[in-house]
Amino acid sequence: MLERIKKWKWKDVDWKKLDYPRIALTAVFLLAMFLLGRAVGAATHSTAAASAIARSPENWGLGFGQEGSQPSGNASAAELAKYNAYYVGNAQDKVIYLTFDAGFENGNTEPILDALKKHNATATFFVVGHYLESAPELIKRMVAEGHTVGNHTYHHPDMSGILDKETFAKEMNDVSALYKEITGQEMTPFYRPPQGKYSIENLKMAQEMGYATFFWSLAYVYWYQDKQPTKEEAFDKLLSRIHPGAIVLLHSTSQTNGEIMDELLTKWEEMGYTFKPLSDLLNKMDN
């Protein structure tokens, strides 16, 4: 086409006989096709980008400010709530929501349960398949004493790397099935992503299965079995960073947690805090 245009003898063109309306219509049509192509390309790029963001893995993290105030998360409470996910409660309520991740049993769950019973405090224990298999009597005790047992997946994988719903659902359903076999009850549909790793797509999958997802607004480093923090180190973090509406993440495998639980709950009570189950948080969010 360009060669033909170059060979045209523009001085010989009879400009009076040209069909200007047709030329204008053709130009408009070509311009419209060009703009449409640009729009489709932009929309396709935008859709692909949104899909990539939805599947992008995230590690739950917190940023702390003034002592006694709620921390910020790497996703806002409002954004998480779209997917029935939460990390903190009401900033006006001096309430603490106690949660424990239970990967295996090593003798520390019983003193934790003893302390909770002494203080009439209910907690949520997020359990994996191994814990259910190896400690069914402790699961029964949790239920009998009014605690909630939540889903921490069967094999504790990085759930953000699971992209298909069938595999995601199996990790969840295998836990709830074994829980029902042990207790005769349906599992409360509370979910905590292993290691705090998630994606928006994962949150949607859990939501579609009827689960509420719970992250946390307070934790400290204690999960190295051969390097447990001292009582003073634990209190330094857990007392200075406590805040209204805190969802506290602890692990039942920690020897330090087992040893300090009674005193820790006492100190929090002396600071004016009360303990409520996660179901109370959900009820407040709905009202």
Question: What are the tokens at 105?
Answer: 């049993």
Position 10 scores a pLDDT of 45
Length of the chain: 287
| 13 DSSP 8-state letter | -
| 122 DSSP 8-state letter | -
Position 88 scores a pLDDT of 98
% of the chain with per-residue pLDDT over 90: 72
Contacts of 5 (CB under 8 A, 6+ apart): none
Q: What mean pLDDT is predicted for residues 69-81?
A: 95
| Tens-digit pLDDT profile for residues 25-73 | 655 555 555 555 565 444 433 333 333 345 678 999 999 989 999 999 9
Cα 31 to chain centroid, rounded: 47
Dihedral sign of CA atoms 284, 282, 205, 63 in order: positive
Residues linked to residue 123 through DSSP beta bridges, in sequence order? 98
Is-catalytic flag, 280? no
> Cα–Cα distance between 207 and 64 in angstroms, integer?
28
Q: Is residue 165 very low, low, confident or very high in pLDDT (cuts 50, 70, 90)?
A: very high
Is-catalytic flag, 251? yes
* Confidence check: pLDDT of 171 > 80: yes
Position 52 scores a pLDDT of 39
Amino acid at 153: T
Q: Catalytic: which of 156, 158, 251, 262?
A: 251
| Tens-digit pLDDT profile for residues 172-220 | 999 999 999 999 999 999 999 999 999 999 999 999 999 999 999 999 8
Question: What are the tokens at 146?
Answer: 């009014």
Give SS3 for 76. Answer: coil
Q: How many C-alpha atoms does 280 have within 13 Å on its Cβ side?
A: 19
Q: Catalytic: which of 14, 101, 130, 280?
A: 101
| Tens-digit pLDDT profile for residues 98-135 | 999 999 999 999 999 999 999 999 999 999 999 999 99
| 188 DSSP 8-state letter | P
Contacts of 155 (CB under 8 A, 6+ apart): 128, 129, 171
Start-to-end CA span in the chain (Å): 69
Residues 260 and 87 sit within 8 Å (Cβ to Cβ)? no
Which one is predicted more confidently, 5 or 281? 281
Q: Is residue 284 very low, low, confident or very high in pLDDT (cuts 50, 70, 90)?
A: confident
Residues 230 and 80 sit within 8 Å (Cβ to Cβ)? no
